[in-house]
Structure 1
Amino acid sequence: MRIDVVTIFPDYLRALELSLIGRATTGGPLEIGIHDLRKWTHDRHRTVDDTPIGGGAGMVMKPDVWGEALDELLSAPPPARPDHEADQGGQGGGPSQGGAPVLIIPTPSGEVLTQRIAEDLATREHLVMACGRYEGIDARVAEHYASRGVEVRELSIGDYVLNGGEAAALVIIEAVARLLPGVLGNPDSVVEESHGASGLLEYPVHTRPVSWRGLEPDPALLSGDHGRIRRLRRDQAIARTAQRRPDLISRLDPASLDSADRAALAAQGWVVPAGAASPQPVVIRPARVGDLESIADLAARTFPDACPEYIPAEQIAEHIAANLTPQRFAAWLADERVPLLVARALQAPGGAEEQGPVLGYSTLILEVLDEAGEPPIGLDARPECVQAAPGQVIAELSKVYTDPAMRGSGLAAALVGHSLRLAGEHGVDLVWLGTSTRNKRAQKAYRRAGFALAGERSYGVGAVICHDVVMTRTINRSTAGETA
């Protein structure tokens, strides 16, 4: 590749002589030419600018001077390539865009430079960069060359304004040149990095010493378990991207996300509904009065799916009418011993008040008596297999339900995680739950959340006796939800 840069401050570009880019120009895959725009002036003062037509502040760079400079550079032949590359049609044998030059004009009014644009430009053989100053280059320059069939890319490196295009040119050149074969010592360096093919920001990186100023990396990185390390780094990349660049999350392809990815996304407030073209934002928060009708409706729709097929429909309907009404949820909402969480879709990332439909809910019931010596309404009898030491606070994870469209989205795991954190905040020592002996999928999900099998229990839905496995999880109060 050859890159020609035109500027009125050639010394500004001396940074290109340093580091990997400088090395690439010394017998490497890159040629860089720096040109002083004033070379193409013809007056005694070497004038490159004039006042704006129509008035206004500042000065505008003259089209006639730029025209002469670009006519010369855009007509220059592309750099010579080794015979074996010429035969294969491009660098590394890939498809070539040909030797036609690309004119790049750094400007804050251009399209924002992305990694995809850098990757595209890295396939070209000749780039010509026009570094404007003052109020910029006369707009007719870009218009003229585009009308003559030259590919013109007006590029911005961010939503801010610089004094000139030289700093932006340095950024663009480095972003493009590092992708050329042979520039980086380790070609894998461009694979696992921010804005790569995964669409995520890069995970946090660490080196020795392992302990520094009281800070240590995740112990999994020291485990030697490569699968576990890959999973941790992927989860960290998802979390970092969701926190810093939610716009990138909204562009992820659901086909590229496995179940663990979806669970990690849900923990960060993003779900992938069945059939959705991209992840959607969701908020998990304490329920409010305005949520109760929707929660009861969701409960009525989802409870039958958790029931064994041998329970008659009328018995299920009676159970719902007695136990899953708006009044029951209102009673829980009014009882501080019953943390009730709701998951609602957001209409836009960050738009917490622009809420869409209820997608899920969870109910944690603390085994604590009120002043009258009464337990919370709806608390199931603790199974004999759930053993507690004197003074321990026990809670039942009574409900975790999501809309059918959310199955496989990771939302249920996120609700469980939030409930466990609330358990820690409420001083709970042990959480137990019951789930159908036939529901292997739910049992597997709870094991992933740290629950372990404790035994079985029987309970009634109407006159029908059902059987659950009972699972428990200890809570470390000091870490509010972490495994003890």
Structure 2
Amino acid sequence: MRIDLFSIFPEYFAPVHLSLLGKAHETGLVDVHVHDLRDWTHDAHRTVDDTPYGGGAGMVMMPTVWGEALDEVIAECSAGQDQDVAQRRVLAITTPSGIPLTQATARNLTNVDQLMIACGRYEGIDQRVADHYRASGVEVLEYSIGDYVLNGGEVAALVLVEAVTRLLDGFMGNPQSLEEESHENGLLEYPTYTKPRSWRDIEVPDVLLSGDHGRIERWRRDLSLKRTLERRPDLIAQLQYEDLDSADKEFLATRGHLVTPSGHHAVSIRVAQAHDGEPLAALAARTFPDACPNFLSDEAIAAFIGDQLSPQACARFIAQPERYRVLVAEIDGELGGYTLSIIGEDAIEKDMVRPGRIEASDAYLSKCYTDSAWRGSGLAGALLEAAVADVEASNTAPRLVLATNTGNLRAQKFYKKHGFKKKARRTFNVGGVMNSDVVLVRNLTVR
């Protein structure tokens, strides 16, 4: 790759001969040429600018000087190339009004044969320079490195040179480092640590010392998501559903952000209020049948819903938070999921009690459901973890118990993933029909 830098301050580009970029130049991986724009002037003062047409403050760099400089360098580069082979030539112009420079842009430029970077000064370069070369078949990139203004484009030029060249094959000593850094996967990079383990009473996170590579990878991914959500929510909004695994989506859902195949949504997981009674009952009626085995009749399911999940029953649950803990997930003004936990004395029915493993005073997770539109978005896991935290904060039960149909293997896998372990079986009456359930338990943090 040939790189041509044009500036009225060519000394600014001394850093191109340093570090890895300098080595790449020495080995021929990149061929860097620095040009003094004033070499193409024809007056005693070596003038490169003039007053703007239409009036206004400042001076504008003249197209005549730029045209001569670019024409000569393009001709020089073309003279040494095979004319039968198409060459990709890009003119990059630094300007605060350009498109933001991104990692994707830098990667796109790695297959360029000649990259020319025009460093503007004063009020910028006459617009006709960009227009002329674009019309002449040169690929023109007008770019910015941020929403601020500098005295000149030299800093932005160095940024572009380093952003592009470090992505070239053979530039980095360890190519894997490129895969893990910020922006390469659309996220900011996770925090990094090195020796010593303790510095000024700040310890290296224990997970990094565990030797468990799976846990370390998950921790880093979560911190990367967290940083990006907090610092660059615009990047989160660009994430695609298929690029996230289930743990990613649950992590984001826990922090109020749902990613679905249809787009992004804000979600609020909160304690249910009195006005949620009827919409909660409607949600419960929609979602309960999805967890029922095929042999249950519509009549049996309807009978259970009418008895256990009616608007009156839901209103009663919401009105007694000392006994029933109801959390709802609100998305776009509608309820999309809920949990119902029972706490206090005799929260566990007698047929589930197993002395030493399950006690009557344990907490009971009766319901954890999401609407079909939100399945696969991580909402169910976020709701479940919110329910666990709510139960831990609301009472002193050492365990949270739940039951799910023995044939519902998907639900069992989901709960086991969240720390629940099989402890027993029970029978459960749904509309007069007896069902066989697996009973699972998760230990709680007693507060």
Report the TM-score, using the length of structure 2 for normalisation: 0.89
CA apart distance, 1:387: 4.7
Summarize the Cα distance change of 1:9–1:305 in structure 2 as closer, same or farther, 3 Å threshold.
same
Structure-to-structure mapping, 1:70-469, within 5 angstroms: 70-77=70-77, 98-196=86-184, 198-273=185-260, 276-337=261-322, 338-345=324-331, 355-367=332-344, 381=349, 383-385=352-354, 387=356, 394-428=362-396, 429-469=398-438
Letter in 1 for 2:135: S
Q: Tell me, in whole angstroms, the C-alpha distance in 1 between the residues paired with 2:53 and 2:4.
A: 29
Secondary structure, aligned partner of 1:465 = strand
Q: Tell me, in whole angstroms, the C-alpha distance in 2 between the residues paired with 1:144 and 1:33.
A: 23
Summarize the Cα distance change of 1:289–1:6 in structure 2 as closer, same or farther, 3 Å threshold.
farther
CA apart distance, 1:171: 0.8
Give % identity.
50
User: What is residue 348 of structure 1 aligned with on the other side?
Assistant: none
Whether contact under 8 Å (1:52, 1:59) holds in the other structure is yes
Whether contact under 8 Å (2:344, 2:395) holds in the other structure is no
Q: Tell me, in whole angstroms, the C-alpha distance in 2 between the residues paired with 1:433 and 1:279.
A: 31
Letter in 1 for 2:8: I
Whether contact under 8 Å (1:434, 1:470) holds in the other structure is yes
Flag as ranges the 4+ runs of structure 1 deviating above 6 A: none
Q: Tell me, in whole angstroms, the C-alpha distance in 1 between the residues paired with 2:391 and 2:336.
A: 22
Structure-to-structure mapping, 1:30-49, within 5 angstroms: 30-49=30-49
Structure 1 residue runs without a partner (length 5+): 90-95, 346-354, 369-374, 479-484
Q: Tell me, in whole angstroms, the C-alpha distance in 2 between the residues paired with 1:142 and 1:289.
A: 62
Q: Counting helix residues as a fraction of each chain, which structure ranks higher?
A: 2
Q: Tell me, in whole angstroms, the C-alpha distance in 1 between the residues paired with 2:426 and 2:181.
A: 50
Letter in 2 for 1:310: F
Q: Tell me, in whole angstroms, the C-alpha distance in 1 between the residues paired with 2:9 and 2:395.
A: 66
Q: Tell me, in whole angstroms, the C-alpha distance in 1 between the residues paired with 2:12 and 2:325.
A: 61
Whether contact under 8 Å (1:104, 1:129) holds in the other structure is yes
Deviations along 1:386-423, one digit per CA (max 9) or x if unpaired, are 65899x97322221001123333322111111111222
Summarize the Cα distance change of 1:187–1:55 in structure 2 as closer, same or farther, 3 Å threshold.
same
Q: Tell me, in whole angstroms, the C-alpha distance in 1 between the residues paired with 2:79 and 2:250.
A: 49
CA apart distance, 1:130: 0.8
Secondary structure, aligned partner of 1:363 = strand
Worse-superposed segment, 218-227 or 423-432 = 218-227
Root mean square deviation, CA, Å: 2.8
Secondary structure, aligned partner of 1:344 = strand
Letter in 2 for 1:171: V
Q: Tell me, in whole angstroms, the C-alpha distance in 2 between the residues paired with 1:102 and 1:241.
A: 31
Structure 2 residue runs without a partner (length 5+): none
CA apart distance, 1:169: 0.8
